[in-house]
Amino acid sequence: MSETLRGGVIGAGVFGTYHARQYARLPGVALAAVLDPHPERGAALAMPLGGRAFTELDAFLDAVDVVTVASPAPWHTEQALAAIKAGKSVYVEKPIGIDVAKAEAMAAEAARRNLVVACGHQERVLFQVMGLFDIPAQPLRLEAVRHGTPSERSLDVSVVLDLMIHDLDLALALSKAAPVTAEGEGAILHSESWDVARSEVTFDDGFTALFDVSRVAEARKRSMKLVYPSGELEIDFLTREFRNTTGFPLNPDFAETPAAKDTLGASIEAFLAAVRGEAPRPVVTAGEAIAALDLALAVEQGLADTGGK
């Protein structure tokens, strides 16, 4: 592997653009290639950043050392597996896939080849710099609200796999317990799948988590409340502020840290450090991302079981 890693991005859409710009700016890596079925779109992204555009996967993989998969979600696992079989470590945008068994097979192949798989649940970076993962107590309850305004982005998956999965991952990261039930209601308003969903997940130690998501809201809202035996923590992800009555010390200036200002950059840097052997793991591992996917699919099943009502 060359000293400067050659970064490649699959998908020249919004998220692919974010990743390509990170590879072009971060030290020790350069944007080498962008793969997209539309050659003009791939070239428009790759060429100004010093990379080449490809439409054929094999040729693209020959030109890179590490790969970001930022294509539509139904392609994530298949394209990540192809990169892994070509000997490349992979950063997969969330969700890691849409099928748990296929995602597990992909992760197993990466483990056999001693390759790194990371996933883009970037808000874990915020929790790290806040100091939330250092709290020596388990929360009793979590309440998360994540509302977005209408967009044509990510309509190939439900709002559960699009938005709620962020908070599902955070809940799993905060609790050592396992989820046992997921019940809720939802509605299909803008796409062919759930556009609004509300679900309560119960864990085997009594921890409960309520998730309220929409991608057809009039205004954006992203908040979380965590209830501990000693008090409550309320976080506004839009203003990057929190109110803390738990008694546990958290960093009130976390929003001013470089990692909080650029969570994607921090997440990609951690991925590259793991690839180089300079860090034991990325921010979010394949196993953790698969656990979030598994819970998201359970939430979807719970919505289907109630007929969305």
- Domain boundary assignment for the chain: 5-121+264-285, 123-257+292-305
Q: What per-residue confidence (pLDDT) applies to 1?
A: 46
pLDDT 10s digits, 123-174: 999 999 999 999 999 999 999 999 999 887 767 899 999 999 999 999 999 9
Question: What's residue 152's pLDDT?
Answer: 77
pLDDT of residue 192: 84
Any bridge partners for residue 89, and if so which?
66
Closest CA to 92 of 82, 77, 104: 77
How high is the pLDDT of residue 99? 97
Residues of the chain with pLDDT under 70: 1-2, 154, 307-309
* Residue-level pLDDT at 309: 47
Say what the pLDDT of residue 154 is: 66
Class of domain 5-121+264-285: alpha beta
Which CATH number is 123-257+292-305's, of 3.40.190.10, 3.10.450.50, 3.40.50.970, 3.30.360.10?
3.30.360.10
pLDDT of residue 247: 95
